[in-house]
Amino acid sequence: MSSAAEQEAVAGERATGDGRPAAVVNGVRPATPVPTVPVRPGRPTPLGARFRVGPDGVAGTNFALWAGGAEGVELCLFDERGGESRARLTELTHEIWHGFVPGVLPGQRYGYRVHGRWDPWTGARWNPAKLLLDPYARAVDGDYAPGGLAPQVYGHVRDWPEQHVADTVRDDRDSAPYVPKGVVVHDDDDWADDRRPKTPWADSVIYELHVKGFTQRHPGIPEELRGTYAGLAHPAAVEHLVRLGVTAVELLPVHQFAHEDHLLRRGLRNYWGYNSIGYFAPHAGYAASGTTGQQVGEFKRMVRALHAAGVEVILDVVYNHTAEAGELGPTLSLKGIDNRGYYRLQPDARRYADYTGCGNTLHVVQPHVLRLITDSLRYWVTEMGVDGFRFDLAAALARSMHDVDMLSPFLAVIAQDPVLRRVKLIAEPWDIGSGGYQVGAFPPLWTEWNDRYRDAVRDFWRHALPDVREMGYRLSGSSDLYAWGGRRPYASVNHVTAHDGFTLRDLVSYDRKHNEANGEGNRDGTDDNRSWNSGAEGETEDEDVRTLRRRQLRNLLTTLLLSTGVPMLVAGDEMGRTQRGNNNAYCQDNEIGWVDWTLLDDPDWRPLFELTSRLIALRHRHPVLRRRAFFSGRAHSADGLRDLAWFTPRGAEMTEGDWYAPAATLGMYLSGRDIPGRDEHGAPILDDSFLAVLHAGEGPVDFVLPGPPWAERYEVVVDTGRETQAEAPGVEHRAGSPVTVPGRTVLLLRVLT
């Protein structure tokens, strides 16, 4: 833009006397007339584009869009060359604009132009020059320019010289050539031959992975399928999950998402996908078969393949905000349909309430927004076959007008919905707003990412806890957080790492983040990593440091998989994946963010995978490690044996003073005789009993093994002080005798009868 006159022409308006840009009432049409298509009244439900046969036997598609407050809606259809034709939707039912267009078949690309007032000072941001993505589009075709978002995709003049009012100056240039389009999809698939695993919560082991990152470098997956849903469905990928023993994959966002302009301008991309723009559409970038509807079938086939292997599919979903950001963000969908209806606005109505750190927050209290979210959730369960959801920044969804409210409309609707109340529901129980930290507060039906577990385990193994009280709670299911309202130990999703932060290997290799590759001057990402580099920052040739790091990884994984609750691993942690110290790899769609499968053949890292799979198998075999009820700590028999007991290295039960004293060693006894509940045949549940000794000190310690009634003899099952674990039972030890536990080691001993 070379002159103020040109800027004025782009805006298509002049300033009023008070400095506010004047509203433009009439949308600008292209110079060339746009063909129109015939449209019939159609139906207001269901929302979205639904292919069907009309009452006269003519095939076509019914289009329905909620656009509260709009003055008019145009449906725009695009041919293969990008040519546009339009149909004015004249039927309006309960703020839903609708129409049936004969001859529109699956594969048709489309979008909407919505007419209304342009008055950002009151929150009104309608601009018919902007082609909008249907919020209910089931497939999306096309992407944004790799070098950055075109200025035409903004509802306002992005480059207006007075940036403090730029968002109030309307841009009348057509955005259609620069934005993706929705695609009409034919619902021709059913789930009659699918068998959902339906793994009980207590038996679950979750594996968080990225569709592209998990498959992009896998040598067993054909090159043309790497990075795709088909790649994840490939036998080579499924085999790894089965050998590892996980029961569910938790997929980083697969809803259609957009890349932020600032990343595109730096030659980067939004890799994680927490920037949703289409809540019904599988992200087209992960499709090997095509993007004009084929991605839907490919996703379904992936789900079927995982189900056939006994693996559930959980989606990480981002309903708290969208890719449209704040008032200076692009106009892609909801902002141009009804800005005031979809987003939480500040009292001045021009700017957005931001509880997410991403520029905007969906106004979930509004019925149509709540409908959008719950319709989307039900669609993914009933028509796409998924088994549950992890809700990003779930506290933002639980806000009523301002405060987080566990009786909020969103949580109430989920609790009574006959479809959604039966699937796995995981909350990330916080947002960045006031009062947003809600760990332990979500109601029954919900599980939660337990960051207090994460922090305690990290601190224990870097020997930074003042005492062992916190570890006692976290190892035994976090009853201090979840033993209320009928919640169970599996309400706690235990994790040491997640996609956000260091990998497990980096946690023991770096004291500081190293995010320079993100292009933000290493300012992004948390500084509170609770990590320890084991004596050298980053990769090193020092064999003593390398050996210690591998031992620490064994300690962390063993602790996680022996803890009561639901364990969650991150893809690649089981084989020592590194991000080179980057703790915020959200924009690293490259080797930094992808799983390195060569580690499985590395003699240094292969044993870590073998230990992890062995521990998961041990967990599956022994119900005492996956309890469905909290420990009571009380004796249930005449000999005084309790379901849970804690011991000091002296072999004595811990006193209150021991819990408050500085300590690096903790013994946890789990009784297999006192497991609540009965099996499916009504018989009592009986199991082996175990003693876990966790020693975080640098030097060895002699730990006296508790005698009767706890045990007469023990055998070592896991010893993290060894690089490899023997498959045969370990050496026996007599109760009452000391066993030497090397520094920084977990010993798991089974009670022999």
Active-site residue list: 392, 428
- Specify whether the CB–CB gap between 680 and 704 falls below 8 A: no
Helix (H) or strand (E) segment spanning residue 749? strand 745-752
Q: How far is CA 720 from the centre of its chain?
A: 31
DSSP string, 412-471: HHHHH-TTGGGSEEEE----SSTT---TT-SPTTEEEE-HHHHHHHHHHHTT--SSSHHH
Helix (H) or strand (E) segment spanning residue 559? helix 543-562
- 564 token code pair: 């009561």
Residue 747: other Cβ atoms inside 10 A:
26
- Specify whether the CB–CB gap between 153 and 331 falls below 8 A: yes
Residue 640: other Cβ atoms inside 10 A:
11
Binning the chain into helix, strand and coil, the percentages to the nearest 5 are 25, 20, 50
The 3-state DSSP class for residue 557 equals: helix
The 3-state DSSP class for residue 656 equals: helix
What does DSSP say about strands 312-317 and 388-391: parallel, antiparallel, or unpaired?
parallel
In this structure, the chain runs to a length of 753
- Specify whether the CB–CB gap between 461 and 504 falls below 8 A: no
Where are the extended beta strands (E) located within 16-108? Answer: 48-53, 59-66, 72-78, 84-89, 91-93, 96-102
Q: Over 688-737, what HEC string results?
A: CCEEEEEECCCCCEEEECCCCCCCCEEEEEEECCCCCCCCCCCCEEECCC
- 601 token code pair: 């053949």
- Specify whether the CB–CB gap between 288 and 302 falls below 8 A: no
- Specify whether the CB–CB gap between 448 and 439 falls below 8 A: yes
Q: Which amino acid is at 220?
A: G
Cα–Cα distance measured from residue 38 to residue 378, given in angstroms and rounded to the nearest whole number: 32
- 600 token code pair: 């499985």
Distances (CA, A) of 139 to 181, 259, 278: 9, 17, 8
- 111 token code pair: 């979008």
Rg over CA atoms, the chain: 28
